[in-house]
Amino acid sequence: MERLKDKVAMVVGAGSIGPGWGNGKATAVTFAREGAHVFCVDRNAAAAQETVDIIAKEGGRAVAFTADVSREAEVEAMVAACLNAYGRIDVLDNNVGIAEMGNVVEVNEASWDHVFAVNLKSAYFAMKHVIPVMQKQGGGSIINISSIASIRHLGISYVTYGASKAAMNQMTRTTAVQFAKDHVRVNCILPGLMKTPMVEHSAGLAASYSAGDVEAMWRARDAQVPMGHMGDAWDVANAALFLASDESRYVTGIELVVDGGITVKSS
């Protein structure tokens, strides 16, 4: 079933920081498998091209674009390039994010500004320049990838990550209301503990869990989840597919939690 047949989907953060499947990479491939033309954006040109190559080998349609989406001029260029390639943007998936460790006493100003620029300002810039396109064409779907760290303390000290994602949730809500009349839907996905390359390559996370032992970190994270195991990038991709498709045409302003039950357990 081609649930996104002939739609144009821009996936921001479509590469992966290391071997395996990150959320953006899996989402881009999933969108292509469902019939979308995918515009794959990443700061790392090789990572974006790797995703495009996977899509092409499967018979899908995609192009790669390199941009640092914390910079407005590069976001403007990204949107212009997508319109030049495909003429429209039906889906925007904001999947960029980083985590830097520290509480409010430990974090310095530079780290605070860096995390907010990558996690929040990037989505603001993308929505700022994509929403007018969607208004002109009669609508579209925007998906912001947040985190359950925005609504729950997970025992890890990374205040800038949780705060930036909480701000993303509120930005999503207000934007959803303001542009609902234009049929521009704006929703969040809140992944829980996921087994992805970004987590694996975060030395701070591994140190916080298990003194740097990645395998021990995986076991500890599995134990936190009521279902007994973490999710993976495909769980996020499938949630994004629903929000991108017309099956969710009456859904806007929500926070779709994908977490195996963590946020509803008592402790």
Q: Active-site positions?
A: 161
Find, among 7, 6, 2, 39, the residue nearest to 139 by Cα: 7
Give me the residues paired with residue 91 across strands: 9, 141
Query: Is the distance from CB of 70 to CB of 119 less than 8 angstroms?
Result: no
Residue matched to tokens 């195991």: 229
- Can you state the percent helix, strand and coil of the chain, rounding each to 5? 50, 15, 35
CB 51 within 8 A of CB 23: no
Write the CA distances from 249 to 11, 18, 141, 183, 187, integer angstroms: 19, 34, 9, 9, 11
Q: Give SS3 for 57.
A: helix
Q: DSSP state, 41?
A: E
SS3 181: helix
Total length of the chain: 267
